[in-house]
Amino acid sequence: MFKKALILVLVLLLASTVFSIRLIDPLSKDLSLNKTNFIGTVAVGNTIELIFSKELVDKYESIDVVTPLPTGFNYEARVEMEALKLFIHVPMSANPGNYPFSVKLAGSNREDTVPLAFDVLKNALNVSPVDISESTTLVGSVASFKFFFVNNTDSDAVFDISTSLPNNWMNKSPLDMGSFSKRVIVPRRGTLTDTINVYPRLQGKKEFAVTVAYEDTSKDFSFVVNANPTLKSKFESVIYGLPFYSFSLLPSYFVNGLFSLIIN
């Protein structure tokens, strides 16, 4: 019995002196102290998130970058109950290539320095419209335009969308003049379809541009929304165009609005 207990103690002591940590995200692999560990790819202007699993509980209590990263690169370290996390943000001005660095894992019993490296990529992301470039709807109703996003890196990728339309055309309420912007996050090694909604405020055709910014570039797409009138929009047009001194002409304005709606 005493011999078994002694063996168990020796095993535990040996385990406490052996480096044991595993990268579980974005790639799953055991890390080595003796060679550079490749940890994945990231597009310029994005962030690579590294999650290290502590296989020996409470062995490490902190993680830090000990090799200076290039100018413009930023990082944030987090320690959680069962994992260590490291976020490295790559600036848009970064050059494509391989970036080696080292991190220090520290605990109450030991410290280890681990060599790591990741690749910064350009032209690894893409976006394109889906199906249509023109949509027909009613004044004040929604017209939807879809986009297809592609991310060929090991990190989540950010796409920012803006348009040339007035703010209240992009908000459901015509009184909402808040500026429009939409951020789409595409998972690593993934694709995604997302939509922007337009609420035309005037009848007729309206050409507009959508700009999608990603990496260190952007793409412009041209669309048309064709808005047919509604009875409400016709009457609103009548009232907005009514001279203040001609209230006696109100019935004829409403008739003209109704007639215009019918022939359109």
Question: Tens digit of pLDDT for each residue in 222-263?
Answer: 999 999 997 665 555 544 444 444 445 455 545 555 555 555
- Quick one: tokens of 210? 């959508």
Residue at 262: amino acid letter? I
Residue at 42: amino acid letter? V
**pLDDT at residue 21, as a whole number:** 80
Question: Is 11 a residue whose pLDDT tops 60?
Answer: no
Read off the pLDDT of residues 62-102 as tens digits, 9 standing for 90 and up. Answer: 899 999 899 999 999 998 887 899 999 999 999 999 999 99
pTM of the model: 0.79
Q: How confident is the model at residue 107 (pLDDT cuts 50, 70, 90)?
A: confident
What secondary structure letter does DSSP report for 239? Answer: H
Read off the pLDDT of residues 120-163 as tens digits, 9 standing for 90 and up. Answer: 999 999 999 998 899 999 999 999 999 999 999 999 999 999 99
Of residues 99, 126, 91, 120, the one with CA closest to residue 216 = 91
Residue at 159: amino acid letter? F
For residue 17, report the phi and psi dihedrals to the nearest 5 degrees.
-100, 0
Element (DSSP H or E) covering residue 7: helix 2-16
Contacts 24+ apart (CB under 8 A), 125-131: 125/43, 125/149, 125/150, 125/151, 125/152, 125/153, 125/157, 125/159, 125/186, 125/214, 125/215, 126/150, 127/159, 127/212, 127/214, 127/219, 129/221, 129/223, 130/193
**pLDDT at residue 246, as a whole number:** 46
CB-facing half-sphere around the CA of 62: CA atoms within 13 A:
10
Question: Is 116 a residue whose pLDDT tops 50?
Answer: yes
Count of residues making up the chain = 264
- Pick left, alpha or beta for residue 215 (phi over 0 → left; psi -120 to 50 → alpha; otherwise beta): left
Q: Transcribe 90-142 into DSSP letters.
A: PPTTPPSEEEEEEEEEE-SS-EEEEEEEEEEESS-EEEEEES-SEEEEETTS-
Question: Is 7 a residue whose pLDDT tops 70?
Answer: no
Read off the pLDDT of residues 202-222 as tens digits, 9 standing for 90 and up. Answer: 999 999 999 999 999 999 999
d(Cα 47, Cα 174) in Å, to the nearest integer?
37
Rg (CA), the chain: 29
CB-based burial label for 210 (10 Å; 0-12, 13-18, 19+): buried
